[in-house]
Structure formats: structure tokens, C-alpha cells
Amino acid sequence: MSAQPNHSRDSVIEVSNLVTYYGRHKVLDDVSLDVASGEIMVIMGGSGSGKSTLLRYLLGLHRADSGVVRLFGRDINTLNSREWMGLRRRMGVAFQGGALFNSMTVGENVRMPLREHTRLDENTMRIMSRMKLEVVNLAGFEHLMPSQLSGGMLKRAALARALVMDPALLFFDEPSAGLDPVVAADLDNLILRIRDAMRVSIVVVTHELESAFKIADRITVLDQGRILMTGTVDEVRNSDIARVRNLLSRTCDEQLVDTDDYLQRLTGGTD
């Protein structure tokens, strides 16, 4: 199928030396990471750390300025659109706000990937979508419109849509953002259950420490576009890197102010 060598049989995602810019601003700087098959990798970092940007590059929504992103062993920059489509059928994505199509019911949303990529008959599609809605505890809600769902339900419906093609790789953007602790914990359990039941590799982007520690096999900590460390939950907990410790203990670090620099910024760079 592929002319390229399969770099690592066990890695579903390999990123090496990824550098990206937003205008002239460097967002990601020399980011390398790999996600093994069947593992839950949590990408953690504060606001503006570049974690959402990294996710967009992993999804192939942008082209890297430098560096390589490999999904299932294939460099995504060299794929033609047909190959991309084949690859995307093996990926599921649950976006932060759900990104359900507002003009369709929940059931139609979940059926949408099946309708676009398979030739199954309507009845089979209905049964499959109901099965996935059962998995995320939303049975009976398929006739509702997305606007009638609560925040937690929206995320679970998005998860059902991401799972409907039985992907080998699942991305979940901020599962606990905007949810109360009980609903967030519920969603964490759901993620663990799905991994065990479907043997799917999962990449979760989050800033919630508790949730990250609960679900992760490994955690990558991003800060200001750079990877601070990648390791197991215990390794991150016991890390002696100052910025990781700050993130864990929720203290902000003191930034030393250079007087000349500060004055220059205020005056807009003029003498």
C-alpha cells in the first residue's frame, strides 16, 4: 500500500522536530513525540502552551513549517488526498465544543461518517449509530438537536461520532473543559472504558491535572511551544523540572523584567 517504510510498527503517531509559526510568532519549537498503539497519551499544558496548535497539526489541518508528522507510519505531508481520506477513516476526533452539525439531529450527526464513507443501508447505519450512543450513555437521545443537549452530553455525542467508524486512533480535545467535576470524572471513566473495550490509541489534550493523572499512560508537558518532558504519571508527578513543578503546584513563576526592554516595548521601539 505504501512506498514508504514503516518506521515503527508500534507507534501510531510519530512527530519529529516539528516547528510551526503563526505569522512571525513561533508557536511550536522542535516538538518531538510518539504515541504507541493502545496507549493513552495526554498532552498537557497551560493556556497558550501550544497544545491546541499541536493537535491541529496532528490532525493534518495545517502543514508543518519544518519537521515531520507521521500517522500510522506515513509522513502526512507526502499523502495525496485519496490516501489522506483512507487515513482519516481510521481516525476519530472529538472537538472541544463537540462541533456537532447544528442542522442535524444527534443520530444524524453520528451517522454522518458512515453515510459519507460506507455503502451501508439506512437500517444498519441506524443500528450502528445507536450502538455507539449506547457506549457513551446517550441511548434515546438520537432525535434531539445538538442545541438541546447539555455540555457533557455534547461531548459524549461528539465522542460517539468519533467512534462510529471504529477508529484505531482517537483524539479528544479538552474533555473536561467547562464541565462540573462529577461529569468530568464520568467522561474520564468513559475514555478508559473505551480504550479497554476497543483497543484504540487515544490522544487527549487537556489542562486539567486531575483528569490527566487519572487517564494517562504517558503525559507530555508542553510549555511555551516546547516539550518540557514526556513520561508516565509518576515520572511527571516526581519531576524536578521547575516549570513542571510550577504547573503541578499551580504557582506562577516570577518573570524578571529587563528595564531597557520594558521601556522599549512601552515606547513602541522608537528612541
Partner 1 sequence: MHRWTSCRTVVTEMQAARLRTFTERIGREFVIGVEDFGHGALLLAESLFWILLGRWWQQPVRLRAMVREMMEIGVMAIPVLSILAFANGAMMAMQGIYTLREFGAESQVISGIATSVTREFGVLIASIVVAGRSGSAIAARIGTMQMAQEIDALRVMGVAPVRYLVSPILVASLLMMPTLTILSNLMAILGGGVISIMELHISLGTYFDRVLSVLEPGDLWQGLSKSLVFGVLITLIATGNGFNASGGAEGLGRATTRSVVLCISAIVVADMMFTFFLII
Contact residues: partner 1, CB under 8 A: 56, 59-61, 81-82, 84-85, 88-89, 91, 93, 95-97, 99-102, 112-113, 116-117
Query: Which run of H or E residues covers position 235?
Result: helix 233-237
**How far is 197 from 251, CA to CA, in rounded Å?**
38
Specify the residue, 82 or 250, whose C-beta has the smaller distance to partner 1. 82
Q: Name which of 84 and 213 has its Cβ closer to partner 1.
A: 84
- Residue 116 or residue 180: which is nearer to partner 1 going by CB? 116
Torsion of CA 198, 194, 50, 16, to 10 degrees: -20
Relative to beta strand 169-173, strand 91-94 is: parallel
Report whether 48 contacts 209 (CB < 8 A): no
Question: What's the rounded Cα separation, in Å, for the pair 174 and 178?
Answer: 9
What's the closest the beta carbon of residue 226 comes to partner 1, in angstroms?
25
Give the residue with the Cβ less far from partner 1, 15 or 164.
164
CB of 161 to partner 1, least distance (A): 8
Nearest-angstrom CA–CA distance, 56 and 64: 10
How near is the Cβ of 105 to partner 1 at its closest, in Å? 15
Q: Identity (one letter) of the amino acid at 158?
A: A
Residue 99 vs 120, nearer CB to partner 1 = 99
> Measured from the CB of residue 214, what is the shortest distance to partner 1 in angstroms?
25
Give the nearest distance from C-beta 59 to partner 1 in angstroms.
5
Smallest distance, partner 1 to C-beta of residue 61, A: 6
Yes or no: say if 106 and 149 are a contact pair by the CB < 8 Å rule: yes
Question: Which residues touch 110 (CB under 8 Å, ≥6 apart)?
Answer: 129, 132, 133, 142, 157, 160, 161, 164
Nearer to partner 1, 85 or 139 (CB): 85
